[in-house]
Structure 1
Amino acid sequence: MLDIHMFSSATKVKGQGVGSAYTELVQLLENHFKTEFNVTINQYGRADISHYHTIDFPFFLSTFSKRRGRKIGYVHFLPETLEGSLTIPQPFKGIFYRYVIAFYRRMDQIVVVNPSFIPKLVAYQIPANKITYIPNFVSRQEFYQQTPEQIAALRKKYQLAADKFVVLGAGQIQERKGVDDFVELARRNPDIQFIWAGGFSFGKMTEGYQRYKKIVDAPPANLRFTGIIERSELMNYYNVSDLFLLPSYNELFPMSVLESFACGTPVLLRDLSLYRSIIAGYYVAAADVDDMNQQIADLRQKPAALAYMQQQAQAAADYYSEERLAKIWRQFYLAQAKEG
């Protein structure tokens, strides 16, 4: 049996995709490979494989131990992707950014959730043959399409009229997520209900916290901010929504998009090159807030187009299924164990 030690503090901060991705992988291994892999969490005993999900300094120190076995690093962000997310004053920002890359360089193998990150890591002097692309996924037991009766009951629970068009956004409230455009779209469409599921996972460290706090405290009448919620409730919001909109300027492979797909909710995204390589055809792309506004109007006025995108969401969910990714992760871990 292969001893795989997971190192992570991702679940300490609620409402962030890193925690969701980590939780999904641990559950996958427990559900599919209990007889092949012995998985432990934050244990420093001897391991065949040590898989680092977060870059905590004690984890970094542990990489110098020969007991760690093959060291795997999960890349959920690069220094440039943190811009617009957190307020870190200099010189601490520069020191932290250098530390991030130093951590990744300590790994024997890096896993990225989006192939667009491979050349960026190579530019940081990490050899391409040490980088593996494995996409994110979500469990269909956690996120799934509910029945019309269940959705009707949920709409009543959330005080949403049966005929109200609902646009959902999700994630941390920060500039990088495109929250400003989401708010602007709510202002332009007073007859549509907009809902943002998420909050300030990093509190006052969030870039632009004071400004966004004022918006959250006094939003347009047709915009709700749920705050940080449990994943089970988030699944309900995907189901009661007609359209999922993520206007982010910078992402890796958003868990929220996969969660929306799994619930059969059509997806509208900012037109970013990184999406094209992984989910082309499964979503509607928009260049800017004006384009988003037009796409929302078109989808709302054309039920057939919305129904088609719902089918595409379901197709994407099938492709990025737990079952398919389980095989990929098994092959990856077995190959890494041989390298060790």
Structure 2
Amino acid sequence: MFSSADKVKGQGVGSAYLELMQLLKTRASDRLDIKINRFKPTTISHYHTIDPHYFITTFFRKRFGRRIGYVHFVPDTLKGSLHLPKFIEKILYWYVIAFYRRMDHLVVVNPSFIPELEKLGISKEKITYIPNFVAKKDFYPYTKEQIRTLKKTHQIEEEKFIVFGAGQVQERKGVFDFAKLAEELPDVQFIWAGGFSFGKMTDGYEKYKKLMEQPPSNLKFVGIIDRTEMLDYYNLADIFLLPSYNELFPMCILEAFSSETPVLLRDLPLYRPVIDGYYKPAADRAEMNKILRELQQNKKEYESLKDAAIQGNLAYSEERLTKIWCDFYQQQEGDSLWKEEINGH
């Protein structure tokens, strides 16, 4: 495994990497021999991040074996995340594409990005879809008594309706819509976890910094927090809301499912192939407002959406994903050995 994904807190890529490592170490240690960031001979190299020194290793095929790239983003998804000079942006986009093209095979976390990669000249046969997942031991529902205690700790009224959102504070995450909803629903408590993982390079940094310093009175920004603390907020919340305009397969959605927290999302086509039926879609902020009011006032609708979240969690079980990953690596090892044999002849 080659990865620096866990070096910067508050990124979904880091969460996905840590979940996979935990899964394979605890459930597949008898089948896989895994080393992390070791520059020694191996059968398969799985690249989780696109660091330049990892890119160099892709030119030493005999030493680093079959090259597997994990696609957490494509160039288009970087727009609205980073504010860079145009020439640097072009270099970055070129580098991302060049890295993916160096791979023998790619793994995407959302099937909707397969056509995007095909447009970049990568054959569909070289791409496999494997979804993200979260461990049940890390994200789970609290008891009613635990939630009551948590509300007291956070000085929130017991009957207060709470909406929780998470992600880097940036344009594409729809943070301004989240803040506007707080203004429109003054009796609801809004909480956002996340900050500027990329500092001042974040697109719209100054205006978001101002919002975080002077938010509506019922909106609280808690900054970048550990995953253990995230569990508290999923359980504290009545609804998890992600108003993003552009996503891949956010880990926070699966974390909410695993915590049995109902999920409301902007209606993006890329969600449909992976979590359709497990969340409530909203076309825009006005519809989000309407749905939040309905869920706040209609217990039957609320419980129905909660049940959908529980079903969503079952669809991405650790047992199922362990088998998928082990089968995938075995197939890749077979392809690697077969090609070596052909080349040897």
Instruction: Please indicate the TM-score interval, normalised by the length of the shorter structure.
Output: over 0.9
Distance 1:44 1:130 in 2: 25
Matched residue SS, 1:257:
helix
1:68-106 CA deviation, whole Å, 9 max, x = no partner? 111100000011001110011121110110110000000
- Output the TM-score relative to the length of structure 2: 0.96
Distance 2:322 2:227 in 1: 21
Distance 2:292 2:73 in 1: 30
Structure 2 residue 259 is the aligned partner of structure 1 residue 259? no
Q: Which amino acid aligns with 2:121?
A: Q
Distance 2:138 2:6 in 1: 16
CA drift of 1:128 comes to 0.3
1:9-24 superposed matches below 5 A: 9-24=4-19
Q: Give the structure 2 partner of residue 60 of structure 1.
A: 55
CA drift of 1:259 comes to 0.3
Q: Give the structure 2 partner of residue 75 of structure 1.
A: 71
Q: Which amino acid aligns with 2:49?
A: T
Distance 1:149 1:104 in 2: 49
1:143-222 superposed matches below 5 A: 143-222=139-218
Q: Which amino acid aligns with 1:51?
A: H
Structure 2 residue 335 is the aligned partner of structure 1 residue 333? no
CA drift of 1:323 comes to 1.4
Matched residue SS, 1:138:
coil
Distance 2:250 2:67 in 1: 25
CA drift of 1:25 comes to 0.4
Distance 2:43 2:173 in 1: 38
Q: How many residues align?
A: 335
Distance 1:289 1:142 in 2: 31
CA drift of 1:295 comes to 0.7
Identity of aligned residues (%): 58
Q: Give the structure 2 partner of residue 32 of structure 1.
A: 27
CA drift of 1:158 comes to 1.2
Distance 1:251 1:287 in 2: 15
CA drift of 1:155 comes to 1.1
Q: Give the structure 2 partner of residue 3 of structure 1.
A: none
Distance 2:246 2:125 in 1: 25
Distance 1:152 1:49 in 2: 48
Q: Give the structure 1 partner of residue 302 of structure 2.
A: 306
CA drift of 1:324 comes to 1.1
The root-mean-square deviation of aligned C-alpha atoms, in Å, is: 0.6
Structure 2 unaligned spans of 5+: 337-345
Q: In the alignment, which of 88, 91, 113 is matched to residue 92 of structure 1?
A: 88
Structure 2 residue 115 is the aligned partner of structure 1 residue 119? yes
1:175-215 CA deviation, whole Å, 9 max, x = no partner? 10000100000000110000001111111110000100000
Distance 2:147 2:14 in 1: 27
Distance 1:271 1:49 in 2: 38
Q: Give the structure 2 partner of residue 44 of structure 1.
A: 39
Q: Give the structure 1 partner of residue 219 of structure 2.
A: 223
Distance 2:141 2:322 in 1: 21
Q: Which amino acid aligns with 1:67?
A: R
Q: Which amino acid aligns with 2:227?
A: R
Distance 2:284 2:110 in 1: 23
1:148-181 CA deviation, whole Å, 9 max, x = no partner? 1111111111111110000000000001000010
Distance 2:120 2:332 in 1: 23
Q: Which amino acid aligns with 2:21?
A: V
Distance 2:203 2:191 in 1: 21
Query: Runs in 1 of length 4+ with deviation above 3 angstroms?
Result: none
Distance 1:315 1:160 in 2: 29
CA drift of 1:34 comes to 1.1
Distance 1:28 1:108 in 2: 24
- Output the TM-score relative to the length of structure 1: 0.98
Q: Which amino acid aligns with 1:269?
A: L
Distance 1:243 1:339 in 2: 45
Matched residue SS, 2:222:
strand
